[in-house]
Amino acid sequence: MGGYILKRLLSAIPVLLGITIIVFAIMAMIPGDPATAILGSYATPDNVEKLNRDLGLDKPLLQRYFIWLGNMLQGDFGRSFSLNRPVLDEVVERFNATLVLAGTGFVLCSVLGILAGVVSAARQYGVADKIITFTVLIGISIPSFFLGMMIILLFAVNLRWLPVSGMYAIYGGGDLPDLLKHLVMPATALAVVATGVIARLSRSAMLEVLRQDFIRTARAKGVPERRVIMGHALRAAMVSILPVLGIQAGFVLSGAVYIEMVFQWPGVGRMLVDAILKRDILLLQGGVVLVAACYVLFNIAVDVAQALLDPRIKT
Amino acid sequence: MKSLDLTRRALIFAAITSLSLGGGDRPAAAQTPPGVLIVGQIAEPKSLDPAAVTAVNDFRILVNVYEGLVRYEPGTLEVAPALATDWAISEEGTEYTFTLREGVTFHDGTPFNAETVKFNFDRMLNEDHPYHDTGPFPLAFFFSAIAKTEVLDELTVKFTLNAPYAPFLSNLAYPTGLMVSPAAVEQHGADFGRNPAGTGPFTFVEWRSNEAVVIEKNPDYWGDPAGTEAVVFRPITDANTRVAEMLAGGIDMMVEVPPTALSRFQGDAFKVVEQAGPHLWFLILNAKEGPFADKRVRQAANYAINKRALVDDVLEGTAEIAAGPTPPAFAWAHNETLAPYPYDPERARALLDEAGIEEGTELTFYVTEGGSGMLDPIPMGTAIQADLNAVGFDVKIETYEWNTFLGEVNPGLEGKADMAEMAWMTNDPDTLPYLALRTEAWPSEGGFNSGYYSNEEVDRLLEEARVATDQEERARLYKRMQEIVQEDAPWVFVANWKQNAVTSDRVENFSLEPSFLLQLEGVVKN
């Protein structure tokens, strides 16, 4: 097992190196440079050249790449020029915020989606099924940023129940209830589409299972309907629901970018968009590399867990 | 029936969550405390080191924490005393001697004196200065005329310029000239931008990344104490969210209200504040080649575009029609006798016929998606396209993201485009025409004259105005320059933006400055 983990970790190195090259190359190729972005109207060739020199961007491309890579290997991701602070500090802070939002969104959509799927399968063609199917259709069709603005208008502007934006209150906040209050709307808006997808798939997975013999047997034995559904059927259906949850986790994380914009959530998605617009090369490169490294590690962890659970997978 | 269920479900869900979170006992989730002014900003600041930043967004915080030797007289763009009480300019205009205010200390307790002034300018301009590496200082060229800075005594400092340079004083009033505490720079080095210390009416408290910058009343301020206990600047990059925060009471003031949102702030609960500033939105015309090489065609474009419709309908009244290259906010230098080109498509057609322009002549038009001072560039671009097509052109729009756009436009339009959108905000009437209308400001010479306009008399007037130290003489030269430029029409003069802000009815004594800076020391929050 130890050898397997080591092998997987070693195989991640070329992947990460490839990512650094791609990110670096893209940033080098897109038009516009940081000095022009900073100077705006005052970007005369002289000023741009001087500022690029001060920013260390006058060196040859290849040399810049190796300086960046070398520093990064020593844990120095450089300094963001648009935020004037170390890239690593900023990325870690922002990534935490995204994890809180995306994690909550993911739990919400998994629980609500499976629950809705189970209910509508159990009451197929009943009133509950029709309402859920209709709601799910709306949920899947509605763009999350639009939904975000609509719930802001309703719950923050008109009813004033919840704060409009941000992660913590400016005054007297910072504790868990405060965080939850700020989290309700963005997490809901983020979860809606995935909830719909999961609900639909859970419904069909459940319907398929409910038609099988062992369910009929369970019912014939006199097992209470609640236990038939939640115990026997759902457990069997989870086999086909789980992979969908895995895919939706990725969608929730990428969907967080829009939601972070609308709700001013200080997450990493918004950070990367700002970094592109401001041509903040080091921040963007460092951010993408760190996020990618997390994905790679997450995948390795999943593979390792699967190998632990399923002896058929060769280690 | 089904949509009713949906709404009810949503309501119940929200009611449950808000109750379970203890929100029930707070009628307004976002009531701000009295004495604390919460300002909705458009972005996270880059740094709180005035020498290191370029964005108006950052300046709005800085001018409340720092002061310069001089400042803009409230409500004008005239230079007035601040940390310097008085100054003398030598006959030939190359020596500026400032007498400094006595008894001023920085927020870190160190005294403000002539040595600190010298430190500030040497840090920006002298590459050998031990703290030059706390930069880069992108706008240091505002002071590139300074040959040396000398300490004459404790409270007297003298700048010697390498040549007469009339905008020097107004550049000193610009935020790049704000005075930082040398002791704080020495202590924090490159992190000074996150640990600022100035002499202003507010002291820095904390900067929570992506959440807020907090400043509070400076109890030891030399002037009138600030009207609020603290000011909180919140970065809210999305304009719609900023509007929602304002409506919900989460912020007390927001700047740069989108024109389409202004109608939501009518009524007693809000106050809308407006102020015209030194801003010009214009079209650069390629005078080197193609149809716009002919002056009559450039004039025709000025007649053909319905500027009234642009400022009233597209910009919802948040701008005024521009008459020439110098915005009216530069009251002393603006030529009031110039009337804007009227909207006259007939006249435009006649001029085009005279110039032999055929129906359906193609024009390539560079439009940006956004950018500093560009207002609503895509709707404005399409409206302009329609107006020009109406007089017989066939305008092709090419749209670029802002930084890419600058990368296309700044090197010049030759061989690529016939016209491009552009906007400038400046602090002196010298800046824009000097950098963008002179023959020596063609892109090949390192300037911004991307349309290759060239007029010897304009060149001469601008050179003379730059070295004249007498303001009346400068005014005369600029006014003459405006007449010629308007007649030559190297640009289509479109709009001067009126900056706006909204405050809640709990905010008093607030006004916007023509400099686009946000002076909050006198503001009261109930």
Separation of alpha carbons B258 and B240, rounded Å: 8
**Of residues A40, A45, A165, nearest to B245 (C-beta):** A165
Residues 6+ apart with CB under 8 A from A50: none
Q: What is the pLDDT of residue B9?
A: 43
ipTM > 0.85, yes or no: no
| Chain B residues whose beta carbon lies within 8 Å of the beta carbon of residue A140 | none
The larger pLDDT score, comparing residue A79 to residue B203, is at B203
Do residues B160 and B52 touch, judged by C-beta distance below 8 A? no
* Inter-chain residue contact A262 with B238, CB threshold 8 Å: yes
Largest Cα–Cα separation, chain A: 86
Residues 6+ apart with CB under 8 A from A204: A121
DSSP category for residue B110: P
* Inter-chain residue contact A83 with B248, CB threshold 8 Å: no
pLDDT higher than 60, residue B11 = no
* Inter-chain residue contact B238 with A167, CB threshold 8 Å: no
Same domain, B418 and B303: yes
Question: Which uninterrupted H or E stretch holds B363?
Answer: strand B361-368
Helix (H, G, I), strand (E, B) or coil at B481: helix
Same domain, B397 and B453: yes
| Chain B residues whose beta carbon lies within 8 Å of the beta carbon of residue A168 | 211
Do residues B236 and B39 touch, judged by C-beta distance below 8 A? no
Which tens digit of pLDDT belongs to each residue from B240-273? 899 999 999 999 999 988 888 888 898 889 999 9
pLDDT higher than 70, residue B62 = yes
Q: What angle do CA A233, A237, A241 make, to 5 degrees?
A: 150
Q: In 3D, which of A142, A137, A88, A103 has the Cα closest to residue A287?
A: A88
Q: Give whole-number Cα distances, A245 to A194, B135, B154, B259, in Å.
A: 9, 48, 71, 43
Q: In 3D, which of B478, B459, B460 has the Cα closest to residue B470?
A: B478
**Per-chain mean pLDDT for chain B:** 90
Residues 6+ apart with CB under 8 A from B289: B414, B415
Rounded mean pLDDT, B177-199: 95
Q: Which residue is it, tokens 């308007």?
A: B486
In a domain, residue B313? The reply is: yes
pLDDT higher than 70, residue B404 = yes
B123: domain range? Answer: 67-186
Q: What is the pLDDT of residue A310?
A: 65
Residues 6+ apart with CB under 8 A from A293: A16
Separation of alpha carbons B328 and A315, rounded Å: 76
Instruction: Tell me the two tokens of residue A229.
Output: 């559904």
In a domain, residue B263? The reply is: no
In a domain, residue B262? The reply is: no
Separation of alpha carbons A186 and A188, rounded Å: 5
Looking at the DSSP bridge assignments, the partners of residue B507 are: B525
Q: What is the pLDDT of residue A313?
A: 63
Separation of alpha carbons B230 and B217, rounded Å: 6
pTM over 0.90, yes/no: no
| Chain A residues whose beta carbon lies within 8 Å of the beta carbon of residue B41 | none
Separation of alpha carbons B65 and B43, rounded Å: 18
- b or e along B97-120 (b: 16 or more beta carbons within 10 Å of the residue's beta carbon)? bbbbbeebbbbeeeebbbebbbbb
| Chain B residues whose beta carbon lies within 8 Å of the beta carbon of residue A44 | 410, 435, 446-448
pLDDT higher than 50, residue B337 = yes
Instruction: Tell me the two tokens of residue A82.
Output: 């648009």
Helix (H, G, I), strand (E, B) or coil at B83: coil
Question: Which uninterrupted H or E stretch holds B476?
Answer: helix B471-488
| B230-235 and B36-41 beta bridge pairing | parallel
Minimum distance, in Å, between the CA of residue B208 and any CA atom of chain A: 10
What's the first-to-final CA gap in chain A, in angstroms? 6
* Inter-chain residue contact A84 with B401, CB threshold 8 Å: no
Residues 6+ apart with CB under 8 A from B359: B392
Rounded mean pLDDT, B280-303: 96
Q: What is the pLDDT of residue B503?
A: 95
**Of residues B190, B191, B241, nearest to A264 (C-beta):** B241
Largest Cα–Cα separation, chain B: 84
* Inter-chain residue contact B30 with A37, CB threshold 8 Å: no
Residue of chain B minimizing CA distance to A131: B2
**Of residues B2, B5, B244, nearest to A152 (C-beta):** B244
Separation of alpha carbons A233 and A43, rounded Å: 66
Separation of alpha carbons B300 and B88, rounded Å: 48
The larger pLDDT score, comparing residue B138 to residue B89, is at B89
Q: How confident is the model at residue B12 (pLDDT cuts 50, 70, 90)?
A: very low
Q: What is the pLDDT of residue A246?
A: 75
Residues 6+ apart with CB under 8 A from B145: B161, B162, B163, B165, B168
Q: What is the pLDDT of residue A315?
A: 54
The reply to whether B52 touches chain A by the CB within 8 Å rule is yes
Which tens digit of pLDDT belongs to each residue from A28-55? 888 777 887 777 767 777 778 888 887 7
Sign of CA dihedral B181, B187, B189, B190: negative
Least confident stretch, A240-249, B192-201, B321-330: A240-249
Query: Residue B59 sits in a domain of what CATH number?
Result: 3.40.190.10
Same domain, B513 and B458: no
In a domain, residue B382? The reply is: yes
Q: Which residue is it, tokens 């650069």?
A: B284
Q: What are phi and psi of A252, to 5 degrees?
A: -65, -45
| Chain A residues whose beta carbon lies within 8 Å of the beta carbon of residue B52 | 84
pLDDT higher than 50, residue B24 = no
The reply to whether B424 touches chain A by the CB within 8 Å rule is yes
The reply to whether B509 touches chain A by the CB within 8 Å rule is no
Do residues A270 and A261 touch, judged by C-beta distance below 8 A? yes
- Among A160, A168, A272, A273, most B C-beta atoms within 10 A, so best to mutate, is A160
DSSP category for residue B428: S
Q: In 3D, which of A66, A160, A253 has the Cα closest to residue B31?
A: A160
Do residues B205 and B216 touch, judged by C-beta distance below 8 A? yes
Same domain, B230 and B172: no
Separation of alpha carbons B423 and B497, rounded Å: 10
Minimum distance, in Å, between the CA of residue A176 and any CA atom of chain B: 10
* Inter-chain residue contact A161 with B23, CB threshold 8 Å: yes
The reply to whether B224 touches chain A by the CB within 8 Å rule is no
Query: Residue B388 sits in a domain of what CATH number?
Result: 3.10.105.10
Burial of A239 (0-12, 13-18, 19+ CB in 10 A): exposed
- Among B36, B53, B238, B260, most A C-beta atoms within 10 A, so best to mutate, is B238
Do residues B99 and B85 touch, judged by C-beta distance below 8 A? yes
- Among B4, B11, B46, B497, most A C-beta atoms within 10 A, so best to mutate, is B46
Which domains are seen in chain A, by residue range?
A: 88-314 (1.10.3720.10)
Domain boundary among B186, B213, B235: B186
- Among A170, A270, A280, most B C-beta atoms within 10 A, so best to mutate, is A170
Rounded mean pLDDT, B369-374: 85
pLDDT higher than 90, residue B129 = yes
**Of residues B2, B138, B244, nearest to A134 (C-beta):** B2
The reply to whether B467 touches chain A by the CB within 8 Å rule is no
**Of residues A84, A156, A261, nearest to B47 (C-beta):** A84
Helix (H, G, I), strand (E, B) or coil at B15: helix
Same domain, B171 and B224: no
**Of residues A84, A138, A159, nearest to B6 (C-beta):** A138
Radius of gyration (Cα) for chain A, nearest Å? Answer: 24
- Among A27, A145, A164, A279, most B C-beta atoms within 10 A, so best to mutate, is A164
Separation of alpha carbons B485 and B461, rounded Å: 11
Rounded mean pLDDT, B2-29: 41
pLDDT higher than 70, residue B16 = no
In a domain, residue B230? The reply is: yes
Which tens digit of pLDDT belongs to each residue from B498-512? 989 999 999 999 999
**Of residues B10, B211, B404, nearest to A31 (C-beta):** B404
Q: What is the pLDDT of residue A312?
A: 67
In a domain, residue B272? The reply is: no
Same domain, B136 and B221: no
Q: What is the pLDDT of residue B17?
A: 41
Same domain, B45 and B122: no
Same domain, B97 and B25: no
Separation of alpha carbons B9 and B437, rounded Å: 63
In a domain, residue B405? The reply is: yes
Q: How confident is the model at residue B392 (pLDDT cuts 50, 70, 90)?
A: very high
Do residues B311 and B495 touch, judged by C-beta distance below 8 A? yes
Q: How many domains does chain B have?
A: 3
* Inter-chain residue contact B29 with A44, CB threshold 8 Å: no
Separation of alpha carbons A10 and B64, rounded Å: 53
Same domain, B11 and B109: no
Q: What are phi and psi of B491, to 5 degrees?
A: -125, 165
Q: How confident is the model at residue B25 (pLDDT cuts 50, 70, 90)?
A: very low
* Inter-chain residue contact A85 with B30, CB threshold 8 Å: no
Q: Which amino acid is at A133?
A: T
Q: What is the 3-state secondary structure (H, E, C) of A156-221?
A: HHHCCCCCCCCCCCCCCCCCHHHHHHHHHHHHHHHHHHHHHHHHHHHHHHHHHHHCCHHHHHHHHH
Size of interface A-B (CB pairs under 8 A): 177
Burial of A48 (0-12, 13-18, 19+ CB in 10 A): buried
Residues 6+ apart with CB under 8 A from B323: B338, B339, B340, B341, B486, B493
**Of residues A79, A90, A160, nearest to B29 (C-beta):** A160
* Inter-chain residue contact B403 with A277, CB threshold 8 Å: yes
* Inter-chain residue contact A181 with B54, CB threshold 8 Å: no
The reply to whether B44 touches chain A by the CB within 8 Å rule is yes
Rounded mean pLDDT, B314-332: 93
**Of residues A83, A168, A274, nearest to B211 (C-beta):** A168
The reply to whether B177 touches chain A by the CB within 8 Å rule is no
Half-sphere exposure of A64 (CA within 13 A, CB side): 17
Minimum distance, in Å, between the CA of residue A29 and any CA atom of chain B: 11
Separation of alpha carbons A46 and B445, rounded Å: 10
Q: What are phi and psi of B471, to 5 degrees?
A: -65, -35
| Chain B residues whose beta carbon lies within 8 Å of the beta carbon of residue A151 | 10
| Chain A residues whose beta carbon lies within 8 Å of the beta carbon of residue B23 | 161-162, 181
Same domain, B142 and B168: yes
Task: State yes or no: cis peptide before A143, omega within 30 of 0.
Answer: no
In a domain, residue B270? The reply is: no
Separation of alpha carbons A19 and A41, rounded Å: 34
Q: In 3D, which of B287, B295, B280 has the Cα closest to residue B432?
A: B280
Q: Which residues of chain A have pLDDT under 50?
A: none
Same domain, B34 and B6: yes
Q: What is the pLDDT of residue B18?
A: 41
Q: What are phi and psi of A84, to 5 degrees?
A: 55, 45
Residue of chain A minimizing CA distance to B230: A171
CA dihedral B163, B166, B171, B172 (to 10 degrees): 80
Do residues B145 and B165 touch, judged by C-beta distance below 8 A? yes
Do residues B297 and B347 touch, judged by C-beta distance below 8 A? no
- b or e along A82-112 (b: 16 or more beta carbons within 10 Å of the residue's beta carbon)? bbbbbbbebbebbbebbbbbbebbbebbbeb
Q: In 3D, which of A307, A310, A311 has the Cα closest to residue A2?
A: A307
Q: What angle do CA B434, B435, B439 make, to 5 degrees?
A: 75
Q: What are phi and psi of B79, to 5 degrees?
A: -85, 135
Domain boundary among B134, B155, B186: B186
Same domain, B248 and B384: no
Separation of alpha carbons A91 and A98, rounded Å: 10
